[in-house]
Amino acid sequence: MSGLLAGKRIVITGAARGLGRSFASAIAEAGAKVVLCDILAAELQDTAANLRLTGAEVETFCIDLASPESITQVFQEIAAGGGVDGLVNNAALATGVGGKNMMEYDIDLWDRVMTVNVRGTWLVSQAAVPLLAASGHGKIVNVASDTALWGAPNLMAYVASKGAVISMTRSMARELGEQRICVNAIAPGLTLVEATEYVPAARHQLYENGRALVGKQHPTDVDGSVIYLLSPLADFVTGQLLPINGGFVFN
Ligand SMILES: NC(=O)c1ccc[n+]([C@@H]2O[C@H](COP(=O)([O-])OP(=O)(O)OC[C@H]3O[C@@H](n4cnc5c(N)ncnc54)[C@H](O)[C@@H]3O)[C@@H](O)[C@H]2O)c1
């Protein structure tokens, strides 16, 4: 994938750890400057420092997706630093959001999940659109989840939020086509990162045994889909959902 994103500047939210950190590393390896955004200030700086050791060009911004003011402020600063060719909407409230069924689910938690995962994805995209339009070949990749496809139980707000991200992807693709901005979503299956260490063993077993490609899923299994959707190879691909789960569920 070396050189596929040469000369591009790509914004990745939720880049401090987990899948976002892996995407950032792969995107930098493919030749792009990476703009890392996250709410976790210390982890963000660690991730950036490690990436710089590999020779990557890295910028960092602390952002809170629950705050419209924070999003506006950060994108003003990003715009001051130059153009943007791609956005990976990866940040989400993905930990501490499960374990209760729909009869027990907490209203405050529901609201927080929707605010970050759905409203945050919309507002970040909105802030990025003028920059992406100016690039002439802008790309948005939304990170959904295959839990929205198979209806994972005891994870109600998160699953609903990812269903909304998939629907929003299609709507954005229609609205932004005129500006030649492609908008697509990926739906990873259960992937081994820090955050999924707390997922019950039974859920890990379900995925590992249920995949057509039996076994565990790692962040590097997902990276290629993001590089593809950000690259010129996908200039005529928009509004699509790509499940990356080793064949656990099909789209
Ligand atoms: N790991 C999996 O199994 C899996 C599967 C399907 C989808 N996903 C999706 O992949 C993405 C990354 O998840 P992950 O597994 O790496 O988990 P994670 O919790 O490590 O990553 C989420 C990132 O988003 C950041 N974030 C959370 N709230 C934020 C806010 N208000 N403002 C800014 N940043 C915020 C976190 O600090 C973190 O760095 C998420 O969208 C998640 O839903 C993960």
User: Looking at residue 191, what is its pLDDT?
Assistant: 98
CATH code where residue 153 lies: 3.40.50.720
Among left, alpha and beta (phi > 0; psi -120 to 50; other), residue 246 is left
CA pair distance 191, 41, nearest whole angstrom: 23
Residue 66 falls inside a structural domain: yes
User: How many angstroms does the Cα of residue 31 sit away from the middle of ligand 1?
Assistant: 24
Q: Is residue 160 part of a domain?
A: yes
Please report the pLDDT score of residue 2 as a whole number.
75
Look up the pTM and report it.
0.98
Residue 186 lies in a domain: yes
Domain membership of residue 174 (yes or no) is yes
Tell me the CA–centroid distance for residue 91 and ligand 1, in Å: 5
Is 28 within the bounds of a domain?
yes
Give the number of domains in the chain: 1
For the chain, helix (H) and strand (E) counts, in that order, are 9, 7
Q: Which residues line ligand 1 (CB under 6 A)?
A: 14, 16-20, 38-40, 63-66, 90-95, 116, 143, 145, 188, 190-191, 193-196
The 10 Å CB-count burial string (b at 16+, else e) for 106-144 is: eeebbebbbbbbbbbbbbbbebbbebbbebebbbbbbbb
Helix, strand, coil % (nearest 5) of the chain?
50, 15, 35
List of the chain residues with pLDDT < 70 = none
Which residue's CA lies nearest to atom 25 of ligand 1? 14
- Identify the pLDDT of residue 251: 83
Q: Which atom in ligand 1 lies closest to the alpha carbon of residue 188?
A: 6
Domain of residue 162 covers: 9-244
Give the pLDDT confidence of 189-211 residue by residue, as tens digits: 999 999 999 899 999 999 999 99
Per-residue pLDDT reduced to its tens digit, 90-116: 999 999 999 999 999 999 999 999 999
Collapsed DSSP state (helix, strand, coil) of residue 193: coil
Give the pLDDT of residue 24.
98
Domain membership of residue 249 (yes or no) is no
The confidence score (pLDDT) of residue 35 equals 99
Would residue 1 count as lying in a domain? no
**pLDDT value, residue 138:** 98
